[in-house]
Amino acid sequence: MSRHFSMLREFQLADWFTLANAFCGTGAIFAAMRFLQEGRTADLLLGMALIPAAFVFDALDGRVARWRKSASTLGRELDSLADVISFGVAPAALAYACGMQGGWDWLVLSYFVGCGVSRLARYNVTAEALSGGGDKVRYFEGTPIPTSLLLVVVLAVAAARGAIGPELWWGQWQLGPWQLHPLVLLFALSGSLMISKTLRIPKP
């Protein structure tokens, strides 16, 4: 007789740290939505605090996998999916909640998430190719997606100082039919650095 939920039983210890990463990212998205409903800055700050927690779990899953010698293709895919949530979608949702809600902001934040997805997909393909040849990946092409934590830190400082919504740093521009908040350009820069092929970051 087949046993249900066999996939969960096959998870390694490192995979649970990866799921904790995704849990934090999902919580941050819900916190952003709660802030938009209730208007309590505490909810927004809680969501932002969950991103550093996700970063810690993201760092620990790799260490645990190496310690247990349990690295796997499943683990790598889980890690990428969790990173998309915590360091791609969640920062974009938090930025939207902070007031980057113009039409151009939507496009930039969507570009940022798309760059993060592309960055992770490229890394997975590259790592698979190199591992098949027995080589170790010596560097990252483009900045890793967890570097978006820096964007969340900027948002957290702005939120703590009340510089959100109409008070968002650098104001807003009216460009044609849509608004653009210049602060969102930091997300455009971060996304562009992720997909750069010339920028190489040594891998620890």
Give 111-138 pLDDT, tens digit per residue: 999 999 999 998 888 765 555 454 456 6
Computed over every residue of the chain, the mean pLDDT equals 88
CA 56 centroid distance within chain: 13
Q: Distance of CA 161 to CAs 31, 98, 151, Å?
A: 18, 12, 16
pLDDT at 187: 98
Backbone angles phi, psi at 200, to 5 degrees: -120, 125
Q: Dmax of the chain from CA atoms? A: 64
pLDDT per position in the chain (204 positions), as tens? 455 556 555 667 778 889 999 999 999 999 999 999 999 999 999 999 999 999 999 988 777 766 556 666 677 788 899 999 999 999 999 999 999 999 999 999 999 999 999 999 988 887 655 554 544 566 778 899 999 999 999 999 999 999 999 999 999 999 999 999 999 999 999 999 999 988 877 766
10 Å Cβ neighbour count for 116? Answer: 26
The radius of gyration of the chain from alpha carbons, rounded to an integer in Å, stands at 18
Residue written as token pair 């959100």 = 164
pLDDT at 135: 47
What are the sequence ranges of the domains in the chain?
12-202
CA 63/CA 18 separation, integer angstroms: 11
pLDDT at 202: 74
Backbone angles phi, psi at 173, to 5 degrees: -115, 145
pLDDT at 197: 84
pLDDT at 138: 66
pLDDT digits 0-9 by tens, 8-19: 556 677 788 899
The CATH homologous superfamily to which domain 12-202 belongs is CDP-alcohol phosphotransferase transmembrane (TM) domain (1.20.120.1760)
pLDDT at 73: 65
pLDDT at 141: 81
